[in-house]
Amino acid sequence: DTGVSQDPRHKITKRGQNVTFRCDPISEHNRLYWYRQTLGQGPEFLTYFQNEAQLEKSRLLSDRFSAERPKGSFSTLEIQRTEQGDSAMYLCASSPIGQKGYEQYFGPGTRLTVT
């Protein structure tokens, strides 16, 4: 069990560019979550997958954001036409279905800086 991994760890991009982040959950974890954490704030929920199905999206997830989880394994989060307000830490978490489903395991995050 290698834990949740995220790639890249840091990303600097210019306003207007597109970026894509990857999350590899703990193997056999059916649930996958994306959160966004801005400076001085707690993480905020963005979206949730159960296997490959995206079942919940926050209103924070504007049309410029899209997330996928093909085949129910890794997930990607894409931000199109980045804005300076998108600068944040993007966290991924996974959890199993069942009795331990409440316990989310977080990755190290991807820190995005939009210049």
Partner 1 sequence: AQSVTQLDSQVPVFEEAPVELRCNYSSSVSVYLFWYVQYPNQGLQLLLKYLSGSTLVKGINGFEAEFNKSQTSFHLRKPSVHISDTAEYFCAVSLNTGFQKLVFGTGTRLLVSP
| Residue numbers at the binding site for partner 1 (CB under 8 A) | 4, 31, 33, 35, 40-45, 48, 50, 55-56, 91, 93, 95, 101-109
| Residue recorded with tokens 């395991």 | 105
CB of 43 to partner 1, least distance (A): 5
Closer to partner 1 by Cβ: residue 75 or 95: 95
Q: Which of 77, 54, 82, 56 is nearest to 67 (CA)?
A: 77
Closer to partner 1 by Cβ: residue 81 or 103: 103
Q: How many CB atoms lie within 10 A of CB 95?
A: 18
Closer to partner 1 by Cβ: residue 50 or 80: 50
CB of 89 to partner 1, least distance (A): 9
Closer to partner 1 by Cβ: residue 45 or 74: 45
CB of 68 to partner 1, least distance (A): 18
For 75, the token pair is 């997930």
Q: Which of 38, 78, 70, 66 is nearest to 51 (CA)?
A: 70
**Secondary element (H or E) of residue 62:** none
